[in-house]
C-alpha cells in the first residue's frame, strides 16, 4: 500500500507531490535543528568576582570615590578596588547593587604574601 500524498498541480498541469511521511520527516528535522539553540540549563549563582589573584606589584592607593545617591531604596554601595588584569592594576569603580537577603558583602582586599607577592582576595557576597 502506498503512503498518502500531498498532491499539487504545477503550471504545466503535471501532478507533483510528497508523501506525508516525507513531509513529516522534513518537518521533524527542521524543528530539531531549530531547537538545538534553545537549551535551557541552570547555572550556579555568581556572587563573587572569581578566585584570588597573585601579583608581584603592590596596588596603588585606592581612589577616593564620591558615593552618589542610591538609585533604588535598599541598594548598597560596593566600593571600588584595584583589580589585576593583563599584568597591571586596573581600577574597578564602585557601584550600587541590590541588597541580598541572608548575605553580606565582603570588599575585595589586597594583602601582602610571601616573597614580595601580593594577594587579591576577590571578595563578593557571602552567606551570613
Q: How many CB atoms lie within 10 A of CB 120?
A: 23
Beta bridge partners of 16: 8
What per-residue confidence (pLDDT) applies to 52? Answer: 78
pLDDT tens-digit series, residues 104-114: 999 999 999 98
The three cell numbers of residue 19 are 508523501
Burial track 59-96 (b if 16+ CB lie within 10 A, e otherwise): beeeeeeeeeeeeeeeeeebbbbbbbeeeebeeeebeb
Instruction: List, in order, residues 6 or more apart from 72 with CB less than 8 Å away.
Output: 96, 98
Is pLDDT at 82 greater than 50 in this prediction? yes
HSE-CB for 14 with a 13 A CA cutoff: 3
Where helices occur in 1-128 by DSSP H, the ranges are: 20-35
What per-residue confidence (pLDDT) applies to 43? Answer: 36
Q: Which of 43-52, 54-63, 65-74 has the lowest mean pLDDT?
A: 43-52
pTM, to two decimals: 0.58
Per the model's pLDDT, the better-predicted residue between 13 and 97 turns out to be: 97
Distance between CA atoms of 63 and 82, rounded to whole angstroms? Answer: 9
Amino acid at each position: 500500500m502506498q503512503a498518502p500524498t500531498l498532491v499539487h498541480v504545477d503550471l504545466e498541469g503535471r501532478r507533483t507531490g510528497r508523501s506525508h511521511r516525507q513531509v513529516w520527516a522534513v518537518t521533524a528535522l527542521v524543528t530539531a535543528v531549530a531547537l538545538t539553540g534553545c537549551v535551557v540549563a541552570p547555572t550556579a549563582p555568581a556572587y563573587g568576582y572569581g578566585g584570588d589573584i597573585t601579583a608581584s606589584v603592590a596596588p596603588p592607593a585606592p581612589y577616593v570615590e564620591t558615593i552618589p545617591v542610591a538609585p533604588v531604596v535598599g541598594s548598597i554601595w560596593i566600593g571600588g578596588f584595584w583589580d589585576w588584569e593583563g599584568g597591571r592594576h586596573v581600577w574597578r569603580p564602585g557601584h550600587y547593587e541590590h541588597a541580598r537577603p541572608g548575605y553580606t558583602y565582603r570588599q575585595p582586599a589586597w594583602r601582602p604574601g610571601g616573597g614580595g607577592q601580593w594577594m587579591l582576595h576577590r571578595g563578593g557576597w557571602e552567606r551570613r
